[in-house]
Amino acid sequence: MMKQKTLATLISALLINTGCSLVGSDYVVPIAAVQQNWVSANNPALKDRNAQLATWWKVFNDPVLDKLIAEARAQNLSLQAAGVRIFEARAQLGIAVGNEYPQQQQATGNVTQQQISAFAPNTSSLIDRVFASTGIGLSVGWELDVWGQLRRGVEASQANLDASIANYDDVLVSLTAEVARTYTLLRTNEALIQVAYENVKIQQRTVDIAKALFKGGAINEMDYLQAETLLNNTRASIPPVENQLRQTKNALSVLLGKPVGSIDSTLTQNKPIPVAPIQAAIGVPAEMLRRRPDIRLAERKLAGQSALIGVAEAELYPHFSLLGSISLSASDAALTYATVGGSTLGRLFDARSFQYSVGPSVSWNLFNYGRIKNQVRVEDARFQTLIATYQNTVINAGKEAENALSGFVNAQKQREELQKSYETAKRSVELSLYQYQEGIVDYQRVLDSQRSLFNTQDTLTRSNSDITLNLINLYKSVGGGWETRTEQDFVPESVKKQMTNRTDWGNLMKAQQLDIPEQDKSKKWRSPDW
């Protein structure tokens, strides 16, 4: 009775102390430098009010772009891979939570026929050398989380799940911006080809005039040859742009998760370059810190690494476990005939076949030669490295936003001047051609004016594209576009069906199981995912 009381007291003390200590430092989000206002905050192209960034591409009012983005978000294969990694992290979290419960739960059973050697030690005629035995049992082993090693493991796994969701959001932001950017380049190439053909028409007319004047003896052959050269050069500029157009369509097909050429029918009608609004609303830099998924990803990796320091540090302390087993055992060895009065092989479930063992155990890595301490130092160094990575991510985010904002503002200024230049160049072509026909000016004036018109139109078209591209980069740099993923699952239903046909995923495929509220993350005990 005294032994049983002592054992019960020891077990109770271990259970009470379990969960009271957490080695390692509790995680605190490090400070990251972020500017209070944008450098161009006073520019009229930037609105002060908060932006509606969840569906920022709607500002271009382009139904084709809206459709392409919707298809990409539903079908892009890189995004699907990022979504599946969330389920992987969810399962890893289930493993970590399950480790807080008895780690060993093993049922056993056996039926054995044995023969002992006649020359084995301690044998006698009373011992049957040939006998059968059978037994069933259950053993349980539970390492108590006295120092919080297992809870730190759960903390790390939870941070890893959060990081996988942030990674999905980051891929979604990048995908949305890349579809919009590629679509803009596609429309830009179409516009450049159209500009080239317009100038081919103008220059062809000049060639026809020069040819007629040359045949009539009014001009020398040089003027005609120069007109032909300019026309051929303009025609030669078209195939490279058409090649870029083809490559852009191919890139867009990949973004949509479709074979190359499958989207050509959707893009048969030429449309203008998406027109960017004059003003952009993107909020303040502090909002960017909370919104950008790559910043959240870096911060969650940092949180997970912080927990791993505690996991490593717990190895410095003793490990306490509770071990127990119960079983039923029987045998038909000759000795049982003498003691029981017959074979007990068939009396496995008799009360006297019951046996058990239970008790605590302790293990302590005493002579580790500094290996454990150095492992703690390794984890701490990795943590400090991730602090620098997180802070650098914040700084780079500010740089990307400011660069895009500057590009958006200055591209608008450039377009204003280029538009004026285009009007004057167009008028110059008309006047120079008229004066050339009247013999007032030589052909060099016509050549220069037509070359200037083509270059100005080409640059103006690219400037219109730059405005849109910079605005797309601006929306991407402030982390816009991932918020709508709460309205959809992380992978399409077809992918979930494939996975559930292969494996029992239980409730892990439910989207609401993935975004765990903060109050649930901090619970002392959480249910394992069986």
pLDDT of residue 16: 47
Thinking of the domain 18-100+148-203+245-318+371-521, which architecture would CATH place it in?
A: Up-down Bundle (1.20)
Show me where the domains of the chain are located. Answer: 18-100+148-203+245-318+371-521, 108-144+321-363
- Do 340 and 327 contact (CB within 8 A), yes or no? no
pLDDT digits (tens, 9 = 90+) for 215-269: 877 777 788 888 899 999 999 999 999 999 999 999 999 999 999 988 888 887 8
pLDDT digits (tens, 9 = 90+) for 379-436: 999 999 999 999 999 999 989 988 998 899 999 999 999 999 999 998 988 888 888 7
pLDDT of residue 424: 92
Give the type of residue at 522.
S
Rounded to whole angstroms, the Cα distance separating 362 from 365 reads 10
| Residue matched to tokens 């909020």 | 283
pLDDT digits (tens, 9 = 90+) for 471-504: 999 999 988 888 887 656 788 888 888 998 999 8
Mean pLDDT, range 80-94, rounded to an integer: 91
User: At the topology level of CATH, where does 108-144+321-363 sit?
Assistant: Outer membrane efflux proteins (OEP) (2.20.200)
Which residues, listed in sequence order, are joined to residue 363 by a DSSP beta bridge?
A: 319
With b meaning 16 or more CB within 10 Å and e meaning fewer, what string describes 343-377? Answer: bbbebbeeeebeeeeeebeeeeeeeeeeebeebbe
pLDDT of residue 390: 95
